């Protein structure tokens, strides 16, 4: 866990476990969000960090820049 309360999880062995916080394998659920006979993944209101926000901001910045360049090139 980092100072901003975010964390990383790299399970041992199977590669697909790295890409999912909850997975079904050989009759059992596993991962940090596994709970009994299912998965309890945080909802959209429960953030696991600010990283997705950075992607949204960068995407909007790139699209705005492209629109401005496109408008400047019009005769």
Average pLDDT over residues 54-59: 86
More confident residue, 6 or 68: 68
Q: Which tokens belong to 67?
A: 């629109």
Q: What is the DSSP letter of 27?
A: T
Q: What are phi and psi of 29, to 5 degrees?
A: -95, 145
Using alpha carbons only, what angle is made at residue 26 by residues 25 and 32, rounded to the nearest 5 degrees? 30
> Token pair 């960090």 is at which residue?
49
Could you give the percent of the chain with pLDDT greater than 90?
Answer: 19
- Cα 64 to Cα 75: distance, rounded to the nearest angstrom: 19
Q: How confident is the model at residue 53 (pLDDT cuts 50, 70, 90)?
A: confident
More confident residue, 12 or 64: 64
């Amino acid at each position: 866990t980092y100072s901003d309360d975010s964390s990383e999880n790299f399970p041992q062995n199977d590669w697909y476990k790295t890409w999912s916080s909850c997975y079904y394998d050989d009759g059992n659920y596993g991962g940090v969000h596994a709970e009994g006979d299912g998965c309890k993944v945080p909802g959209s209101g429960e953030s696991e960090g600010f990283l997705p926000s950075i992607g949204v901001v960068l995407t909007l910045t790139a699209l705005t820049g492209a629109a401005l360049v496109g408008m400047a090139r019009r005769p």
